[in-house]
Amino acid sequence: MPSKILNSLRSFMRAAVYKAPLRGPFRDLMLRLEQAAPSRKPEFWDQQLAGEFQSYLGGTITVEGRNALVAVMLRHYVKEVRAVLDVGCASGSLAKVLKQSQDVDYTGVDISEFAISQTDPADGDFFVSSLDDFSPKEGQKFSGIVVAEVLYYLDPASAVENAARLCSYLDFGGVLVVSMKNDVKSEVIFRGLEDRLQWVGGIAFQEHPLRPRFRTYKSREYPAYLLGIFRENGAPS
Ligand SMILES: C[S@@+](CC[C@H](N)C(=O)[O-])C[C@H]1O[C@@H](n2cnc3c(N)ncnc32)[C@H](O)[C@@H]1O
């Protein structure tokens, strides 16, 4: 079957699952299925990052492009970027990019021990922990918290809940940076974040290897990404 039709079918099914106002037993079943997904387990990530998903560790146009945009957005929206927390940091490639332009105190967290073994300890402090379990040292605050390409591995409600919880570790004037690829689940999570937090600004990007086009489109091979900046509701800019 042509991949365009398969992609549309996939989008339709995901829309039915994530956008439908599921209640009662269906909702519980969905939640249980999400929680049992292989991508919720550290072993999955250890294995995939050492194999098929090796490109997530860095060195691609997408990862390096996202790192560069995160650095630009942080510099633009935060007066002084001092401490940055990167949740789902993979090899910590963002640290090197941030440190090119300023002295930043970088903390990276990842569920995968393999990912953390690929980081450079000279770049900051690194911890093996899942997003849901992570809390910083008592009183530690960050001027930027980055959650790039991680939230859609959680169910939408806990993704929003955890992102809002992370915001409580922001310093005065700090921002939460969320990057997600263009699919139905990410849309639902972005909408939840928009209801819960203050949208500050964003930028969308997509690699276009085939034709010069302005439009972004849904693609599994070359997804479009939206990088969004949020503050806690009522937080000063
Ligand atoms: C798609 S990669 C994104 C890496 C990097 N943030 C980027 O934007 O290129 C997802 C990363 O998140 C990590 N991860 C997945 N689920 C996680 C969770 N629940 N808590 C913390 N890290 C998680 C994976 O081990 C992997 O390194």
User: Tens digits of per-residue pLDDT, 62-91?
Assistant: 999 999 999 999 999 999 999 999 999 999
Question: 11 falls in which pLDDT band (50, 70, 90)?
Answer: low
Determine, yes or no, domain membership for 71. Answer: yes
Determine, yes or no, domain membership for 217. Answer: yes
Nearest CA to ligand 1 atom 11: 88
Q: Is the predicted pLDDT of residue 1 greater than 60, yes or no?
A: no
Query: Separation of 212 CA from ligand 1 center, angstroms?
Result: 30
Distance (Å, rounded) from C-alpha 227 to C-alpha 192? 15
User: Does 180 contact ligand 1 (Cβ within 6 A)?
Assistant: no
Which range of residues forms the domain containing residue 226? 3-231
User: Does 148 contact ligand 1 (Cβ within 6 A)?
Assistant: yes
Contacts of residues 76-81 at CB distance under 8 Å and 24 or more positions apart, as own/partner, are 77/175, 77/200, 77/201, 77/229, 77/237, 78/143, 78/144, 78/173, 78/174, 78/175, 79/173, 80/143, 81/143, 81/144
Q: Is the predicted pLDDT of residue 22 greater than 70, yes or no?
A: no
Determine, yes or no, domain membership for 236. Answer: no
**CATH number for the domain that contains residue 61:** 3.40.50.150
Tell me the average pLDDT of the chain.
91
Determine, yes or no, domain membership for 107. Answer: yes
Query: Separation of 1 CA from ligand 1 center, angstroms?
Result: 31
Distance (Å, rounded) from C-alpha 211 to C-alpha 186? 25
What pLDDT, on a 0 to 100 scale, did the predictor assign at position 159? 96
- Least Cα distance to 158 among 57, 74, 73, 37 occurs for 37
Q: Is the predicted pLDDT of residue 18 greater than 80, yes or no?
A: no
Considering the entire predicted model, what is its pTM?
0.92
Q: Are 104 and 82 in contact (CB under 8 A)?
A: yes
Determine, yes or no, domain membership for 237. Answer: no
Structural tokens at position 189: 């999570």
Q: Report how many domains make up the chain.
A: 1
Determine, yes or no, domain membership for 48. Answer: yes
The model's pLDDT over 144-192, given as tens digits with 9 standing for 90+, comes to: 999 999 999 999 999 999 999 999 999 999 999 999 999 999 999 999 9
What pLDDT, on a 0 to 100 scale, did the predictor assign at position 120? 97
